[in-house]
Structure 1
Amino acid sequence: MDTRISKFIANNKLLTLSVIDDTYDDICVYTASCYYVFCVETLKLIFKSSVDSKHIKLAKKFPKCGVNIAKDGALKTLQGVQIKAHFKHATTEQKALYYKTFPYAKLGEGEVFSLEILWAKYTDNSLFLGKKLEYTKE
């Protein structure tokens, strides 16, 4: 992964998770915001959420997810990454990393999960308007 992409992901903490929602007649998308930690070595986003939340139930059913991480600003400074990921339960090491960053999260209920980055497209308008960098897991 290009270091500009990983640096952007590492310097942010809030993602929008999109999962398939088949609870209606038509399939649609359900989204949720989650605080995360980025493991640069494994290219995984680690977050905590309630096992009873709708987005976790849906992610368990449909583990291929979409993620958006964006930095708000003027058009010329817009930065963001779109991600395709695979949802999984977090490992012991990933849980430790999450709680190191968010120690107060130990007080709340829920479980820690991970999102393995399969593909990412990074937009950074400060590079050049419309310039995109892509990553695909090999």
Structure 2
Amino acid sequence: MSKDLAKISTFIAKHHVMSLATTDTKKPNVCSLFYAYDESKLSFVVASSVDTLHVKNILQNSAVAGNIFLETQEIGKIEGLQFEGTMTLLNESNLKKFYFKRFPYALAMMPKLWQIKVDYFKLTDNRLGFGKKIIYSSALA
């Protein structure tokens, strides 16, 4: 794993909620989701019902974008991650186990699980210098 991806993974591991943006190609939607992140697969695992607008959107258009951030008023401590990828129904049993290990209480609800395969990350980390960006793109990897 590259040094940049390691920094991105470290940031992701400190958090557990993302904002996810979807669209049916006409109207955008944003939601908040709990996630588990598998750094070896560059994938988030999320739980969501097929009745939600964001899942209805990804069934028409699997492209998604999202962010995770540290809320702070101290400029020097600002950290935030933006990402882009595709979201599909999760088929890998090892990722299902991974999600339920992180959120064991979710097992009682037997939710549908989805995989967000990330192909682009941009981490802003002002602790490394004002406006410092770390970018990963699978197109450049």
Q: Normalising by structure 1, what TM-score?
A: 0.92
Query: More helix per residue: 1 or 2?
Result: 2
Identity %: 28
Q: Distance in 2 between matches of 1:34 and 1:94?
A: 16
- Structure 1 counterpart of 2:82, which letter? Q
Q: Distance in 1 between matches of 2:110 and 2:99?
A: 14
Alpha-carbon distance, 1:96 to partner:
0.7
Q: Distance in 2 between matches of 1:41 and 1:109?
A: 25
1:1-16 aligned within 5 A:
1=2, 2=4, 3-16=6-19
Q: 1:126 aligns to what SS in structure 2?
A: helix
Alpha-carbon distance, 1:109 to partner:
4.8
Indicate conservation of the 8 Å contact 2:76/2:126, yes or no. Answer: yes
Q: Distance in 1 between matches of 2:56 and 2:112?
A: 12
Alpha-carbon distance, 1:75 to partner:
1.8
Q: Distance in 2 between matches of 1:51 and 1:128?
A: 42
Q: How many residues align?
A: 134
Could you list the runs of 4 or more consecutive aligned residues of structure 1 that deviate by over 6 angstroms after TM superposition?
Answer: none
Partner of 1:125: 126
Q: Which runs of 5+ in 1 are unaligned?
A: none
Q: Normalising by structure 2, what TM-score?
A: 0.90
After superposition, the CA RMSD in angstroms is 1.2
Alpha-carbon distance, 1:110 to partner:
2.7
1:15-34 aligned within 5 A:
15-22=18-25, 27-34=26-33
